Chains A and B, each alone.
Chain A
Amino acid sequence: MNDLSALIADTAAKVFADAALQPDAVIAERIEEAGFRGLLTPEDRGGFGGGLAEACSVMRVLGGEGVSLPLGDLMLGARLEAEAGLGDGAVPLEAVNVEGQSTTAPGGLFAWMISGAPKAIAVVQDRVLVAGPRDDDGLIPSLSGRPMTVADFASGVDAGPAGDWSDERIARWRSIMNAALVAGAVDQCLRLTIDHVTQRQQFGRPLSALQAVQQQVAILAARSAAVSAVVEAAARAGEPGLLASAAAAIQSREAATLAISIAHQLHGAMGVTEEYPLHRYTVLLMECRSRGRRAEAWAERVGRRAVSRGGDRLWSDIVEAA
């Protein structure tokens, strides 16, 4: 983590402290006050001019608090809008998650909301398109209970040319930022689990005295380190390539699934209760598995490219990948 990212992580830790216990409107207000919406927006457009590393710092902290907000989409959306000549970055945000599924925008569709109404942003045929929710859908609760809706890009507003932002590039940024959120949440699952197994006594000794328990904790710790390593590498590189983005999606899925299974198994029934914080991370991780392009689809792209380039280039492609 570079110095700037560390500073931003400190700020994020203050902004998101106890965020899971606050109403969405309060978190939204704090996000705006901190200026996180404009984190990725260029400075000459009134933003902070940050990059992927800074965005990942914020996402990781958010994941560590167990708050399931698609802040990455908000930051990326603000940048797209700004670059396409729309959006002043000053409208209050509402905590409504628009997870776009519209058939008119199949690719790098991402979501969010401003200005009192849900709003989704996508790149369709090199144009930035801004859309509201589909009328007939109303709001559907997501796994975390936050309202979610489907965007209607057929009636979207054309904000302007997408510039350097293709569907593919958006999908890559989303994959890395989502992985940062997952990394924060998985790390917290690990911490909670360690605390629990060292304190909880059964058979006259702490659970951690059991080798079967120790080994499960170690498995989770290694996978947590793996997802963090991919995020760190992508953040350092600044612009994620196919391989890093695919690795981020695949590691996120693995780590999320393993964290949910191991943390709950080792917590016993305590883990599913409302009073204990594990459920927040569980639900966040479940939602994260559905965000962005599926891990299988990423893997298929990597496989196709590898086959088309041939076995002799496989190694150099791994080395040169960002």
Chain B
Amino acid sequence: MSCVNSSGPTGLRAVGDLAIASVDRELVSLRQEVRAFLAAEGGWFARDRARGWNGHDRAFSQRLAAKGWVGLTWPTTYGGGGRSQAERYVVTEELIAAGAPVSAHWAGDRQVGPLLLKFGSEALKREFLPRLARAEITFCLGMSEPGAGSDLASVRTAARPVEGGWRVSGQKIWTSGAQEAEYMVALVRTGTEDDRHRGLSQLIIDLASEGVSIRPIMTMTGEAHFNEVFLDEVFVPSDRLIGAEGQGWAQVSAELAYERSGPERYLSSFAALAEATDRLDDDATPADHAILGAFVAEHFTLRQMSLEVSRQLSEGLNPAVAAAMVKDLGAGLEQAVPPALQALDSAPPNSASALGYLLKSSPAFSLRGGTREVLRGIIAKDLGVR
């Protein structure tokens, strides 16, 4: 047979497969451990599961941290677990699929930790990483402003240099979890507005500082996880600068692949799908089963895409475009599920169900973490059509 000119690197393949198999076995046992932990936690009601990563329970986060599952990939010198991205992925997807309330450690684990590891000073790493890994403190991310949503580079919150640091004034909005958080990573303007991208820096703001006021914003789900955060001449010491002054934009961009590709970007409506799986009975039509089955298959597809981005991240690549695709398709799936499942039911959705909650929360899924239009712009740019 002459399919290829050589006999093929069969020996190499076998060695590679063995290595992969041993890693896989470790991951399987970690997954079982996480599932057992979650089962012992007792599970959550459907509506709470549907809240996903907005669910807040610091005691839960601390129990998770005690297992070593917060800051899993960070170096042990900073209180992390020193484990692989693949292991973190397993823990994360099990938490999200179960609908565990993770918001008390979510921003810290997903973004602030990697940000500090990459750009933070040694002092910042030592000060914050161990406490984040124990889930003792919660961070929020101060990005959007009333005049800077998708156009994040037009941030106006200003940091004016003073002796020993900055005085920060301005307003952040749509800040998730600020009312529960001790600290904010804020994107602020340390240069002039003409500098656009180059005038931005990232500061850690202690939310207990004088001049900080936080006002929750009620949404149609009946909750307030967003906030307005007002900053009035808030003093920030100079050692709370992350990375270099003027590098805030580049640093934020580097974070986004982490924010856009994880399992939370396609699993937000999974609780409603699981609920519907239990509700469909023998009377369901073939078309009903097909609707359900197509969504299950779509979850399989998105998981493969998300895993691939995770693999690239762990190889040190920056898969920003693949991550944008996961988030765009993932949000599309998350938004298609609730109305389609509503159509399967003869009774109107009730507000205690996962479906009832997701119908109201899902319109925002294609806004948070980068709007659909911005994501598609990123993809188009990469393809050379922008």
The answer to the question of A198 belonging to the interface, with a C-beta cut-off of 8 Å to chain B, is yes
Q: Given known contacts A4-B4, A8-B3, A221-B383, is B12 in contact with A303 (CB within 8 Å)?
A: no
Instruction: Tell whether, in the assembled complex, residue A244 and residue B300 are in contact, meaning their CB atoms are under 8 Å apart.
Output: yes
Which residues of chain B are near A145, meaning CB under 8 Å? none
- Partner pick for B297 among A243, A297, A304, A312, CB 8 A cutoff: A243
Against A, the Cβ 8 Å flags (1 = close, 0 = not) of B364-376 are 0000000001011
Against B, the Cβ 8 Å flags (1 = close, 0 = not) of A297-310 are 11111111111001
The answer to the question of A259 belonging to the interface, with a C-beta cut-off of 8 Å to chain B, is no
One of A103-111, A149-157, A225-233 contacting the partner: A225-233
The answer to the question of A268 belonging to the interface, with a C-beta cut-off of 8 Å to chain B, is no
Against A, the Cβ 8 Å flags (1 = close, 0 = not) of B325-354 are 100110000000000000000000000000
Against A, the Cβ 8 Å flags (1 = close, 0 = not) of B158-191 are 0000000000000000000000000000000000
Chain B: interface residue total (CB-CB under 8 A): 60
Q: Given known contacts A7-B8, A225-B305, A225-B322, is B274 in contact with A38 (CB within 8 Å)?
A: no
- Partner pick for A214 among B8, B31, B386, CB 8 A cutoff: B386
Which residues of chain B are near A246, meaning CB under 8 Å? 293, 297
The answer to the question of B19 belonging to the interface, with a C-beta cut-off of 8 Å to chain A, is no
Which residues of chain A are near B284, meaning CB under 8 Å? 307
Which residues of chain A are near B9, meaning CB under 8 Å? 3-4
Interface of chain A residues 280 through 320 with chain B (CB within 8 A): 295-307, 310-312, 314-316, 318-319
Q: In the complex, which range does the number of interface residues on chain A fall in?
A: 35 or more
One of B70-78, B208-216, B254-262, B275-283 contacting the partner: B275-283
Interface of chain B residues 53 through 111 with chain A (CB within 8 A): 93, 97-98
| Interface-centre pick from A35, A38, A297, A319 (highest chain B CB count, 10 A) | A319
Which residues of chain A are near B13, meaning CB under 8 Å? 2-4
Interface residue ranges, B against A (CB under 8 Å): 1-6, 8-10, 12-13, 31, 35, 93, 97-98, 270, 273-278, 280-281, 284, 286-294, 296-305, 308, 322, 325, 328-329, 373, 375-377, 379-380, 383-386
Instruction: Give 19 A-B pairs besides A4-B4, A39-B3 with Cβ atoms closer than 8 angstroms.
Output: A34-B2, A35-B1, A194-B384, A198-B384, A213-B385, A214-B376, A214-B386, A218-B376, A218-B380, A225-B325, A226-B302, A244-B300, A250-B301, A299-B292, A302-B294, A303-B292, A304-B293, A312-B274, A315-B274
6 inter-chain pairs at a CB distance below 8 angstroms, sorted by A residue, are: A2-B13, A47-B1, A48-B1, A218-B328, A295-B294, A314-B277
